[in-house]
């Protein structure tokens, strides 16, 4: 190794797909090799048994010949026995056909000079009356596969017949069959290598050429990103099924998002379903989920011009929306106070001018008029509403209505003797209903434009009704009035007020509904029921 050169530069790590390919090729080669070896052994054994059975059949045919039986019993050497053995040898292509007496002395042999001599292999088993099959021996005529059988005359063994075939004949047949086996094994090996190559190519395409350690790193990075960000993430595959989501998405949407669930079965905002169905990018779409206002962004994902699915992100804007509504209330109240300050300053200037000019009687009369006008104003729209939050909300909305040339009235039969337990929920419901009523009254040609609010306590339940002097709700909007994005206002960004009001009411077990859509002669009437919103009144 050269100094300073890392070891991996000389021995680069082999790609995983190549390792799999080589491993598969090795396994296929090993299996084919073992199969060929096992088959070769079984084939050789089967051929040997076949030749042995063949030799035994020839030996039995010779041993049952009456001439052979009489000659062996008489221990006749050569002669008829020699002729019979040579005829059978020529007819069966055997290496030898040997006949012996009951002492193992050759009575017939392919080599005439060997007649009268003992056999080269032990005849004991055959002379004991047993058949000997498939025995490999190396006799005077060379190695062979031989079988032996006894010659019986009645119940007495008078000799034996031994028939053998050349090992070369067995080897030739074996080699021919082995060549066919090797050709089949080679074809199987090539087929296995081709299949392994195709599988390796498929693996590279599916993993986009990434190594296992790279896939592991991507998994860790994905988990870290999904669960480390403060936004909700929901990914859908090409069939609009949930493929990836984080815990923040389930928390913000206030529903479970099981992987594999179809998008159509999820309880999400209609706006979100519509954005996904249309398949167009969505930026900063406002949607309601439970008591939260979410900002939704949607992007379609493609790779190599192939659609992979859609990714949605959710940001919680509830706190910002609440602060915005509170800021609007404070701004309305401050505008009202500023108007009162200007009015009060003008009155003081008038009073100062009368005093400076010496019109003391006129100044006294003017001051008396101011005192009576101020005293005659109901404190916080009347003493029938004891809660300071409701008073402040109604005062702010009253000043807002007056600035726009409208009138906001509290119904005479209103009665709330206790305080509210959740000012935010009360402000969300009442504020949105009043804002919509003021808008409807201002846009209607009917004058004077006015809104009447009725608040009535029933134990701990607060009943709210808001009626305006507008032209009523259009018939095409009545069925979808409380859906997100449905609004009669032209400017974008509206259509959440009534949806938020209903969500806030239903979160407490109550509801908001359109009691009377109104029409040409009367405005719309909205009613809300808010259980457990008031402190229980003392007896």
**Architecture per CATH, 378-530:** 2-Layer Sandwich (3.30)
Mean pLDDT (whole number) for 460-473:
91
Place 172 in a pLDDT band, splitting at 50, 70 and 90.
Answer: low
Q: Are 34-172 and 230-316 in the same CATH fold?
A: yes
User: How far apart, in whole angstroms, are the C-alpha atoms of residue 191 and residue 28?
Assistant: 9
Dist. CA 526–CA 514, nearest whole Å:
5
Give the model's pLDDT for residue 378. 42
Across 11-20, 27-36, 48-57, which has the greatest mean pLDDT? 48-57
Which of 28-42, 138-152, 335-349 comes out lowest in average pLDDT? 335-349
- Between 182 and 446, the higher pLDDT residue: 446
End-to-end CA distance of the chain: give it in Å, rounded: 96
pTM over 0.75: no
The mean pLDDT value of the chain amounts to 77
Judge whether 59 and 147 are in contact, CB under 8 Å. Answer: yes
Model confidence pLDDT, tens digit, residues 420-457: 988 888 888 898 899 889 988 888 888 888 999 999 99
Q: How confident is the model at residue 136 (pLDDT cuts 50, 70, 90)?
A: low
Q: What pLDDT sits at residue 35?
A: 76
Tokens of 316: 């919680």
Structure tokens at 394: 């109604």
Local confidence band at 287 (pLDDT 50, 70, 90 cut-offs): confident
432 near 500, Cβ under 8 Å?
yes
Separation of alpha carbons 525 and 411, rounded Å:
13
Would you kindly state where each structural domain of the chain is located, as residue ranges? 34-172, 230-316, 318-377, 378-530
pLDDT band at 490 (very low <50, low <70, confident <90, very high): very low
9-13, 444-448, 511-515, range with the lowest pLDDT: 9-13
Q: Which of 298, 297, 292, 299 is nearest to 316 (CA)?
A: 292
Q: 78-131 pLDDT, tens per residue?
A: 888 888 888 888 888 888 888 898 888 888 988 888 888 888 888 888 888 888
Q: For the residues 281-285, what does the mean pLDDT come to?
A: 74
Instruction: Domain 230-316: give its CATH code.
Output: 3.30.450.20
| Segments of 275-359 assigned E as strands | 282-289, 292-303, 306-316
Contacts 24+ apart (CB under 8 A), 155-158: 157/102, 157/127, 157/128, 157/129, 158/69, 158/72, 158/73, 158/101, 158/102
What is the CATH code for 34-172? Answer: 3.30.450.20
pLDDT, one tens digit per residue, over 309-356 is 888 888 877 666 666 666 665 665 566 566 566 667 777 777 777 788
Token couple for 448: 């004077």
């Amino acid at each position: 190794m050269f100094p300073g050169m890392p070891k991996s530069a000389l021995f680069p790590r082999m790609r995983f797909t190549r390792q799999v390919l080589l491993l598969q090729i090795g396994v296929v080669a090993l299996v084919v090799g073992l199969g060929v070896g096992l088959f070769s052994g079984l084939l050789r054994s089967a051929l040997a048994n076949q030749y042995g059975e063949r030799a035994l059949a020839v030996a039995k045919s010779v041993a049952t010949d009456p001439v052979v039986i009489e000659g062996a019993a008489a221990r006749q050497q050569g002669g008829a026995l020699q002729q019979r053995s040579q005829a059978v040898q020529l007819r069966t292509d055997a290496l030898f056909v040997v006949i012996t007496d009951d002492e193992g002395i050759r009575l017939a042999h392919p080599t005439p000079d060997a007649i009268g001599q003992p056999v080269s292999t032990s005849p004991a088993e055959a002379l004991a009356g047993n058949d000997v099959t498939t025995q490999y021996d190396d006799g005077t005529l060379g190695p062979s596969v031989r079988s032996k059988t006894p010659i019986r005359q009645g119940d007495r063994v008078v000799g034996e017949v031994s028939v053998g075939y050349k090992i070369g004949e067995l080897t030739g047949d074996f080699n021919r069959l082995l060549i066919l086996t090797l050709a089949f094994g080679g074809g199987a090996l090539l087929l296995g290598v081709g299949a392994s190559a195709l599988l390796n190519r498929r693996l590279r395409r599916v993993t986009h050429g990434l190594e296992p350690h790279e896939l592991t790193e991507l998994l860790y990075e994905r988990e870290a990103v999904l669960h480390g960000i403060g936004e909700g993430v929901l990914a859908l595959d090409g069939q609009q099924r949930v493929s990836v989501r984080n815990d923040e998405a389930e928390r913000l949407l206030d529903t479970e998002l099981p992987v594999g669930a179809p998008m159509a079965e999820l309880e999400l905002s209609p706006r979100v379903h519509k954005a996904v169905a249309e398949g167009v990018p969505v930026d900063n779409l406002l949607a309601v989920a439970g008591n939260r206002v979410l900002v939704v962004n949607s992007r379609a994902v493609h790779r190599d011009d192939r659609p992979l699915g859609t990714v949605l992100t959710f940001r919680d804007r509830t706190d910002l929306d609440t602060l915005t509504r509170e800021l609007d209330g404070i701004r309305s109240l401050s505008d009202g106070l500023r108007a009162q300050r200007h009015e009060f300053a003008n009155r003081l200037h008038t009073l100062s001018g009368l005093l400076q000019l010496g019109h003391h009687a006129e100044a006294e009369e003017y001051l008396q008029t101011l005192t009576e006008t101020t005293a005659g104003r109901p404190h916080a729209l009347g003493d029938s509403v004891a809660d300071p939050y409701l008073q402040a909300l109604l005062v702010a909305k009253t000043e807002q209505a007056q600035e726009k040339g409208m009138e906001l009235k509290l119904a005479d039969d209103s009665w709330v003797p206790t305080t509210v337990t959740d000012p935010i929920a009360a402000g969300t419901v009442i504020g949105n209903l009043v804002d919509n009523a003021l808008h409807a009254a201002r846009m209607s040609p009917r004058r004077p434009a006015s809104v009447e609010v009725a608040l009535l306590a029933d134990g701990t339940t607060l009943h709210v009704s808001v009626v305006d002097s507008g032209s009523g709700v259009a018939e095409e909007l009545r069925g979808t009035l409380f859906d997100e994005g449905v609004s009669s206002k032209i400017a974008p960004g509206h259509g959440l007020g009534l949806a938020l009001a209903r969500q806030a009411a239903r979160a407490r077990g109550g509801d908001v509904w359109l009691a009377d859509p109104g029409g040409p002669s009367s405005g719309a009437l909205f009613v809300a029921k808010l259980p457990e919103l008031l402190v229980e009144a003392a007896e």
